[in-house]
Amino acid sequence: MGKNIFKMFAVVFVLLSVNDNTEGAFLIPFFICLVFCGIPLFFLETAVGQFTGQGTLHVWEVCPIFKGVGVGMLISMTIFCIYYNVIMAWSLYYIASSFAVPLPWTSCNNEWNSEYCTDDRSTLNLTSQVLQGINSTNSTPNWITAQEEFWQESVLGMSSGIEEIGTINWKLMLCLLGAWVVVGLCIIKGVKSLGKVVYVTATIPYILLTVILVRGLTLDGSIDGIKVYLSPDFSKLLELQVWLEAAIQVFYSLGPGWGPLFTMASFNKFNNNCLRDSVLLSLAGEGTSLYSGFIIFTVLGFMSTSFSLPIDKLVKSGPGLGFIVYPEALAQLPGQNVWAFIFFVMLLTVGLDSQFAYCEAVIVACTDKFKKLRKRRILFVVAFCIANFLLGLIMVTQGGIYVFQLVDWYVAAFSPAVFGLIECIVFGWIYGFDRFSKDVHLMLGRGIPMFFRICICFITPAILLGLFVYSLTSYKPPSYGSYEYPLLAAGFGTFLSVLPLIPIPICAVGIVLHAPGDTLKDKIATALKPTPKWKPVSKELQDSYYDSDSESSRSLIETIKLNVMGRT
* Integer Cα distance of 57 and 455 in angstroms: 25
- How many C-beta neighbours within 10 Å does residue 141 have? 11
Cα separation, 186 vs 180, whole angstroms: 10
Please name the helix (run of DSSP H) or strand (run of DSSP E) that holds residue 479, with its range, or none: strand 479-480
Q: What is the largest CA-CA distance in the chain?
A: 85
253 is in an annotated binding site: yes
Enclosing H/E stretch for 484: strand 483-484
Is 141:154 a contact under the CB 8 Å cutoff?
A: no
Contact 538, 270 (CB under 8 A): yes
Contact yes or no for 298/222 (Cβ under 8 A) = yes
**Residue 43's CB: how many other CB atoms inside 10 A?**
27
Is 354 assigned to a binding site?
Answer: yes
**3-state class of 513 per DSSP?**
helix
Residue 81 has, within 13 A of its CA and on its CB side, a CA count of 28
Instruction: Answer for the pair 321, 15: CB distance below 8 angstroms, yes or no.
Output: yes
> DSSP 3-state assignment of 147?
helix
Contact (Cβ atoms closer than 8 angstroms) between residue 520 and residue 434: no
Q: Are 39 and 278 in contact (CB under 8 A)?
A: yes
* 89 in Cβ contact with 172 (< 8 Å): yes
Reference 537, options 44, 58, 147; nearest CA is 58
353 is in an annotated binding site: yes
Strands (E), 76-173: 117-118, 144-145
**In angstroms, rounded to a whole number, what is the distance separating the alpha carbons of residues 259 and 420?**
10
* Distance, CA of 76 to CA of 475 (rounded, Å): 20
Q: Which residues define the annotated binding site for Na(+)?
A: 253, 353-354
Q: Which residues define the annotated binding site?
A: 253, 353-354
